[in-house]
Amino acid sequence: MDEIYNLACPASPIHYQNDPVQTTKVNVHGSINMLGLAKRLKARILQASTSEVYGDPTVHPQTEEYWGNVNCIGLRSCYDEGKRCAETLFFDYFRQHKLKIKVVRIFNTYGPRMHPNDGRVVSNFILQALRNQDITVYGDGNQTRSFCYVEDMIQGIIRMMNASDQFTGPVNLGNPEEYSILELAQKIIELTDSTSKIVYRPLPENDPLQRQPNIELAKQQLDWEPRIDLEEGLRHTIDYFRRLI
Ligand code: UDP
């Protein structure tokens, strides 16, 4: 084995909050297990970290230098702090054991083959729109996210794995086009020709207000940037869910 991609952790808030103790465990114990394996086999190891390490950011857009604003006892902290601790472990194995590490911070990603019960916003809205059911916007819908199509993301991750050993990251990977959740809902209604109405539900605890990656480092070091804009990516994803249902 030459390379390990450690993606082992549920990424959807409803799934990682379903068993928060296991979420912290998979990030901490799981990373230790994989780092130990990488050390023994002298394999290169990549950690799928997350924009959640920035928490509810006070710096916008987020650069890799920003240390983040995370509540360590909130409902999201099993994921946020679990992923932060995993980054700590990766960098300590790098400094202490000279491991070849790679850390990517993945921002919201979507695309075909998402699970229909994933619970994240893009798949929820598309399924609701295709079924002409109410679209559930949490809060007032003014919170923002930046959505990256899955093929772009995979390209970025592979480029990072293949980059020189000196470049450990962390590096942001995501699409810097920023949309409010309300704009996303309207776009999906339009693209699906749906009769769905938008309804408002309470905002989950510690739901970040805004999120947008600064991807200058990835552009410079990996010669990478997303190619597929939101509308095109949504069309592919809508086609997928239409066939599925
Ligand atoms: N959201 C929403 N309706 C849904 C699912 C999510 O309004 O049915 C909102 C959620 O509150 C958040 C944003 O969409 O502000 C993105 O949520 P998601 O669960 O996709 O990922 P997050 O970026 O919060 O980890």
pLDDT on residue 37:
98
What pLDDT shows up at residue 130? 98
Q: What is the reported pLDDT for 53? A: 98
Q: What is the pLDDT of residue 125?
A: 98
Residue 98 exposure: Cα atoms within 13 Å on the Cβ side: 1
Instruction: Establish whether the linkage from the previous residue to 170 is cis, with ω within 30° of 0.
Output: yes
Question: Measured from the CB, is residue 36 less than 6 Å from ligand 1?
Answer: no
User: 3-244 — its CATH code?
Assistant: 3.40.50.720
d(CA 223, CA 92): 27
Quote the ligand 1 centre to 161 CA distance (angstroms): 29
pLDDT per residue as tens digits for the range 182-217: 999 999 999 999 999 999 999 999 999 999 999 999
Nearest-CA residue for ligand 1 atom 18 is 120
- Least Cα distance to 90 among 21, 158, 44 occurs for 44
Measured from the CA of 204, which atom of ligand 1 is nearest?
Answer: 11
Model confidence at 67, pLDDT cuts 50, 70, 90, reads very high
Q: Which tens digits make up the pLDDT trace of 104-156?
A: 999 999 999 999 999 999 999 999 999 999 999 999 999 999 999 999 999 99
Q: Which DSSP letter does residue 104 get?
A: E
From ligand 1's centre to the CA of 141, what distance in Å? Answer: 9
> Is there a contact between 107 and 146 (Cβ–Cβ < 8 Å)?
yes
Structure tokens at 179: 């949309």
Q: Is 136 in the pocket of ligand 1 (CB under 6 A)?
A: yes
Query: Whose C-alpha lies nearest to ligand 1, atom 21?
Result: 120
Helices assigned H by DSSP within the chain: 13-16, 20-41, 77-97, 121-130, 150-162, 181-192, 216-222, 230-244
Mean pLDDT of 84-101: 98
Is the whole-model pTM more than 0.85? yes
- Please say whether the dihedral angle defined by the alpha carbons of residues 3, 55, 27 and 94, taken in this order, is positive or negative: positive
Amino acid at 207: D
Indicate the residue type of 230: L
pLDDT in tens, 45-56: 999 999 999 999
* Among 75, 117, 144, 145, residue to substitute to test ligand 1 (most atoms within 8 Å of Cβ): 145
Whether 51 lines ligand 1, by a CB cut-off of 6 Å, is no
Instruction: Confirm whether 16 is a catalytic residue.
Output: no
Per residue, the 3-state secondary structure of 167-226, as one string, reads: CCCCEEECCCCEEEHHHHHHHHHHHHCCCCCEEEECCCCCCCCCCCECCHHHHHHHCCCC
Residue whose CA lies nearest to ligand 1 atom number 24: 207
Q: Give residue 39's pLDDT.
A: 98
Confidence of residue 70 (pLDDT cuts 50, 70, 90): very high
CB of residue 124 inside a 6 A radius of ligand 1: yes
Quickly state the pLDDT bin for 19 (edges 50, 70, 90). Answer: very high
**Is the distance from CB of 228 to CB of 149 less than 8 angstroms?**
yes
